[in-house]
Amino acid sequence: MVLALLLCGAALLLVTAGLFAFAVRRRLIQRSGGTFDCNLRWALPETDAAAAKGKGWAYGIARYNGDQIEWFRVFSYAPRPRRTLARDGIEVLHRRLPEGEEELALLSDAVVLACSLHGTRVELAMSEDALTGFLAWLEAAPPGQRVNVA
């Protein structure tokens, strides 16, 4: 009986420590400012885009860092960004509202932004306010950088 209580207590302590680590990591990412909630779908094939609706989305936090955006998975302990998007490589193709199963996979107020990053098709889903900030950040590129904002 004592061993069972000890094991339950240890399991509860591990779960609590894991949740605390998630909270601390998110706070450290947001500490420098310029962050927003952003779902990401990477390397979507253009030929089969209709069949992939609602699949492949990962929930994360994006952070502005100079001329790049660092994207972190929410459910990860990694201190480094999972993806880095350079401003000079992002080309906005179009924007749309979530369709079908995407409405369940994304946040309720999300807008999907289809982009090309050095030839790789990337989709970002963010709130309308975050989208306005993202497009303003793209357009505010230093002189001489090619920026294509749809």
* 52 band by pLDDT with thresholds 50, 70 and 90: low
Measured distance CA(19)–CA(121) in Å, rounded: 33
Whether 39 and 19 map to the same domain: the answer is: no
Please give the angle made by the CA atoms of 52, 58 and 63, to the nearest 5 degrees: 130
Whether 25 and 60 map to the same domain: the answer is: no
Whether 26 and 57 map to the same domain: the answer is: no
Check if the beta carbon of residue 43 is closer than 8 Å to that of residue 55: no
From the list 115, 112, 120, the residue with the least C-alpha distance to 150 is: 115
* 10 band by pLDDT with thresholds 50, 70 and 90: very high
Q: Which range, 21-30, 77-86, 94-103, 129-138, has the best average confidence (pLDDT)?
A: 129-138
- Which bin fits 59, alpha (ψ -120 to 50), beta or left (φ > 0)? beta
Whether 111 and 127 map to the same domain: the answer is: yes
Whether 54 and 115 map to the same domain: the answer is: yes
Measured distance CA(88)–CA(13) in Å, rounded: 46
Domain assignment present for residue 21? The answer is yes
Domain assignment present for residue 10? The answer is yes
Per DSSP, helices labelled H in 31-108 are: 102-105
- Model pLDDT, residue 136: 92
Range of the domain at 112: 34-139
Whether 47 and 100 map to the same domain: the answer is: yes
Any idea what the CATH number is for the domain that residue 53 is in? 2.30.29.30
Domain assignment present for residue 80? The answer is yes
CA distances to 19, 42, 114, 144 from 75, rounded to whole Å, are 10, 17, 23, 38
Tokens of 12: 């509860």
Whether 26 and 82 map to the same domain: the answer is: no
Q: Domain total for the chain?
A: 2
Q: Which residue has the higher pLDDT, 10 or 79?
A: 10
Q: Which residue has 């749809």 as its token pair?
A: 150
* 47 band by pLDDT with thresholds 50, 70 and 90: low
Whether 76 and 39 map to the same domain: the answer is: yes
Tokens of 137: 């950040």
Whether 26 and 39 map to the same domain: the answer is: no
Mean pLDDT of 43-47: 65
Domain assignment present for residue 146? The answer is no
